[in-house]
């Protein structure tokens, strides 16, 4: 196929923003996914029985990191000057292709796993400007005038991401006041690398000032999940992306159904670098995601 940046020139800024932030999440999730040789299911008896998503691996890592670096630099430019910034459009098209090759093999994990419930259980008539609104005319939506709501896919993914990376970037051993295992150290290194890439891009985007600084790598390593979550929130604020699923109309009464809606998504939830991820963990994650 041909990837042509001119084809996206006519997108609205909202469509470009949420499509682009989905690319960024593809990259971060595939890079931080459980390694291919540590999947809970273990090594299959035959190659034909391998799952579609393998977990993070050396080949996917190359594509994912490239995509993450390009997204952090060029996504804000695309949103600001979609029609005139040909370089940014080209770089984001390349990033989308790179991330696709990365997560298409490695897979994604909890940000996407939780997104399906958020998008499918959309509250009432929620909508995002820049997306064409259509009258679906379905009988079960008479209360909303025959209209249905829409949470764009990229928004349904990234709005959970700060809570997710706080969770995956906090090892169980630390919570139990024990030493980290080699697997946990490996995962924390990856969260720190992603946080560093986002922080450096923020510095470049906003300029070097006393208020805009990058915390030390040592500080990031003390709380990798917090570091990555905070940097992602900074980017979301810069792009004017809603923070927390409460902004989409959800509240504490919805947590149980959101968690139950996520539970069947084993192909991605089992790729979380922190396990287990069952109903109780998902309820905690959605509660955290209410306000992030």
Q: What is the pLDDT of residues 197-210, one digit of tens each?
A: 999 999 999 987 76
Compute the distance between CA of residue 17 and CA of residue 291 in angstroms, rounded to an integer. Answer: 21
Compute the distance between CA of residue 288 and CA of residue 292 in angstroms, rounded to an integer. Answer: 6
The confidence score (pLDDT) of residue 140 equals 47
Tokens at 233, concatenated: 């929130």
Higher pLDDT, 144 or 99: 99
pLDDT band with cut points at 50, 70 and 90 for residue 137:
low
Residue showing tokens 């050396």: 58
Burial (CB < 10 A; 0-12, 13-18, 19+), residue 232, is buried
The confidence score (pLDDT) of residue 141 equals 46
Chain centroid to Cα 146, Å, comes to: 31
The tens digit of pLDDT for each residue in 179-196 reads 999 999 999 999 999 999
Answer yes or no: is pLDDT of 286 > 50: yes
CA pseudo-torsion sign 222, 103, 95, 154: negative
DSSP per-residue codes, the chain? ----GGGGTTS-HHHHHHHHHHHHHHHHHHHHSPBGGG-TT-S-SSGGG--S---B-HHHHHHHHHHHHHHHHHHHHHHHSTTT-HHHHHHHHHHHHHHHHHHHHH---HHHHHHHHHHHT--TT---TTS---B---GGGGGGTTB-----HHHHHHTTHHHHHHHHTS-HHHHTT-PPPHHHHHHHHHHHHHHHHHHHHHHHHH-S-SSS-PPPHHHHHHSHHHHHHHHHHHHHHHTT---SGGGGT--GGGHHHHHHHHTT-HHHHTT-SS----HHHHHHHHHHHTT-
Compute the distance between CA of residue 18 and CA of residue 80 in angstroms, rounded to an integer. Answer: 13
pTM above 0.85, yes or no: yes
Percent with pLDDT over 70 in the chain: 95
Residue showing tokens 């989409």: 248
Which one, of 89, 55, 70, 56, lies nearest residue 23 by Cα? Answer: 70
Residue 71 near residue 12, CB atoms below 8 Å:
no
The confidence score (pLDDT) of residue 215 equals 82
The confidence score (pLDDT) of residue 265 equals 96
């Amino acid at each position: 196929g041909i990837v042509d940046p001119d084809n996206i020139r006519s997108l609205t800024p909202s469509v470009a923003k949420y499509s682009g932030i989905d690319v960024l999440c593809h990259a971060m999730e595939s890079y931080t996914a459980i390694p291919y040789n540590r999947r809970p299911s273990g090594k299959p008896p035959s190659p034909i029985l391998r799952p579609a998503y393998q977990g993070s691996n050396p080949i996917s890592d190359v594509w994912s990191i490239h995509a993450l670096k390009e997204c952090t630099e060029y996504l804000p430019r695309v949103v600001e000057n979609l029609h005139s910034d040909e370089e940014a459009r080209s770089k984001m098209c390349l990033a989308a292709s790179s991330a696709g090759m990365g997560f298409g093999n490695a897979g994604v994990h909890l940000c996407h796993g939780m997104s399906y419930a958020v998008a499918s259980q959309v509250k009432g008539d929620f909508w995002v400007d820049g997306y064409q609104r259509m009258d679906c005319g379905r009988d079960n939506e008479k209360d909303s005038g025959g209209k249905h709501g829409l949470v764009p896919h990229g928004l349904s993914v990234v709005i959970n991401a700060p809570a997710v990376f706080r969770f995956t970037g906090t090892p169980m051993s630390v919570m139990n006041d024990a030493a980290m295992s080699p697997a946990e150290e490996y995962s924390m290194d990856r969260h720190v690398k992603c946080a560093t890439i986002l922080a450096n891009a923020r510095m470049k985007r906003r300029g070097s000032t006393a208020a805009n600084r990058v915390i030390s790598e040592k500080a990031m390593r003390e709380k990798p999940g917090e570091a990555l979550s905070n940097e992602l929130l900074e980017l979301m604020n810069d792009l004017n992306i809603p923070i927390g699923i409460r902004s989409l109309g959800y509240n504490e009464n919805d947590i149980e159904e959101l968690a139950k809606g996520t539970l069947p998504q084993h192909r991605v939830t089992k790729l979380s670098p922190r396990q287990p991820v069952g109903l109780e963990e998902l309820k905690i994650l959605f509660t955290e995601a209410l306000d992030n």
